[in-house]
Structure 1
């Protein structure tokens, strides 16, 4: 099917009690691996790219690549702008055909965050999902990190969501960008955020969280979990291992194909971690 709106992915997941993965792509191999796993699990998904990665090809190439691949699948997939820092990022992604947007103004003071997030809402046509961030998530993504990190204040959630009119709220509750294997969500804080808000929540930094925490997120109205570092590491590791095994390796297609499978395995594992009732691949066979 064609790319769908992020709002459709949210509705589909909410109606089925599922949590959508949001998997970052940069190139063909990563896109192929993501969609292969999505087709296997049948869980609606966001494929996304951040401006820091779009510099390699531009938003139009990402749109063409992803839309061509998902045209052959029956699972709803939205194309999402991850961590748009400026309104120009939002405009560029929308012009390229993206169906879901994140405006991340969390590095600004609260009032400026509200202002920029509301302006992004006004830019998004009807049907385009808007994600915004309240609180500042720590860690680094592509060597970019916040000047300061701070958890989401539940007391600010209701007014922020109402003022912006967002569809999704990304929160900071112990989650960390990048590969942070010691990260732990503060589930008590996440519950207070959930109770204060009126829109589904987003957890960034899914690569660093264990299955025990990922598996309970649907109980906290989390509908979207971002994963990037795990996928990138799978691809880099595949190429690195191929070189170590044979420094004279010349078959790019063989190693690229192996990287697609490595990425697909990671994506499938993460989707099943978010949605434990899907069971293991063996249980489904």
Structure 2
């Protein structure tokens, strides 16, 4: 199936949320709610959309080109640590929409793209007042989907925080919620924790598109070898089936293609975050088939001589990291100080950086996540509803009177949890 130009024009006319229409009234880019992307993957069945963390312009452009070639819907996202008020990337919550819209128009991108504010982290009650001001500004700047991540708090406070912040999120927006801090092989999420959060939200007429679990993921470089626990994910998703919430898979870098295919085939996952791998690939570092960066005998990254940035630029980046004492995953902090330097490289260098990302993302979309041709399904959803908001996937089945604030605190005391040490919370 191929979307006609007439259908595309109508989708652009009716399918872009109000903030996108206001910001980009003359744009031909189909920037949509995360709800649209989730529904497209469900229609395809056993399909997962890549959520590319756009840590630099080359990742964004390469991912857009790959999705266009695969005719796949796409999510471009940035996490709070990457692009919030204390960012380590030049791409942030407030400029990502402008960067993506401009790239789509320049490159002739016609596939639907959602703009996701990932891991909007609330680590204590003290973060909530600022969030009530900051979240609306992000939507004013073009965000079309958001992850409220209060998973660092106890279960009752996680739920109560989601309830308190929901009024600041537009009804048409895609919504992700999260349980279980991302902390590797310990502290895996449980079915009871997941049900507690989703049931409590349901009782208050909040129906998330996605729930993210700690199912064995490790953000950044996967070193433990454990990886994503497919059986655990399947068990939790089955328990959540009455609530029609999809899974969001975090920390895919370093997991085998076979394991990621299992996630697509055996769970209800429709969103998979890819961050560290795309950054490393854009720079020209050697990675294995799973997207994990290769290391030499001294534990240093290996730069491919004819890929990514120039050798001279890479030497400068390494020297800067050494000066700062940055190792391994902390190389992510190079994004902010080097973005303009990378944009100033010759065209052929910039284009090979984008091509490397494009090749990796295309393979993931087509050969791992079964996402090819989901662009047409997303447009079909827009045309069926003639709206930028297809509405919720679920309906309320929980009794609100059983989920008051006091009862939430009491219920949380009986939850079977699996606490582990603190971990790394960004992709």
| Pairwise same-fold verdict (TM > 0.5) | yes
- Aligned CA RMSD, in angstroms, stands at 2.6
The answer to whether structure 1 residue 252 and structure 2 residue 346 are counterparts is yes
Change (3 A) 1:57 1:24: closer
- C-alpha deviation, 1:273, in angstroms: 4.3
Aligned residues: 270
TM-score by length of 1: 0.86
Change (3 A) 1:107 1:216: same
The structure 1 segments of at least 4 consecutive aligned residues displaced by more than 4 Å after TM superposition are: 245-248
User: How far apart in 2 are the matches of 1:79 and 1:155?
Assistant: 31
The answer to whether structure 1 residue 185 and structure 2 residue 202 are counterparts is no
TM-score by length of 2: 0.58
Instruction: Output one character per residue of 1:234-259: Cα deviation in whole Å (capped at 9) or x when no partner.
Output: 122268735438989x9532211110
- What are the ranges of 5 or more consecutive residues in structure 1 without an aligned counterpart? 140-147, 279-285
Give the structure, 1 or 2, with the largest relative contact order (CA under 8 Å, sep 6 or more): 2
The answer to whether structure 1 residue 47 and structure 2 residue 94 are counterparts is no
Comparing both structures, which one devotes a greater share of its residues to strand? 1
The answer to whether structure 1 residue 111 and structure 2 residue 156 are counterparts is yes
Whether the 8 Å CA contact 1:81–1:90 is kept in 2: the answer is: no
- 1:173 maps to 215
- State which structure, 1 or 2, has the greater radius of gyration over its C-alpha atoms: 2
- What are the ranges of 5 or more consecutive residues in structure 2 without an aligned counterpart? 1-28, 123-127, 286-302, 317-343, 373-427
The answer to whether structure 1 residue 63 and structure 2 residue 97 are counterparts is yes
- C-alpha deviation, 1:14, in angstroms: 0.6
User: How far apart in 1 are the matches of 2:230 and 2:56?
Assistant: 35
Instruction: Output one character per residue of 1:42-63: Cα deviation in whole Å (capped at 9) or x when no partner.
Output: 1212100112222335433211
Whether the 8 Å CA contact 2:49–2:371 is kept in 1: the answer is: no
The answer to whether structure 1 residue 151 and structure 2 residue 188 are counterparts is yes
Instruction: Specify the SS of the correspondent of 2:52.
Output: strand
Change (3 A) 1:189 1:61: same
User: How far apart in 2 are the matches of 1:48 and 1:224?
Assistant: 11
Change (3 A) 1:245 1:175: same
User: How far apart in 1 are the matches of 2:190 and 2:367?
Assistant: 27
Instruction: Specify the SS of the correspondent of 2:181.
Output: coil
- Using the TM superposition, name which of 235-244 and 89-98 deviates more: 235-244
- 1:207 maps to 253
- 1:19 maps to 48
Q: 2:181 aligns with which of 136, 144, 159?
A: 136
- C-alpha deviation, 1:205, in angstroms: 0.6
- Using the TM superposition, name which of 80-89 and 95-104 deviates more: 80-89
Whether the 8 Å CA contact 2:93–2:117 is kept in 1: the answer is: no
- 2:31 maps to 3
- 1:125 maps to 170
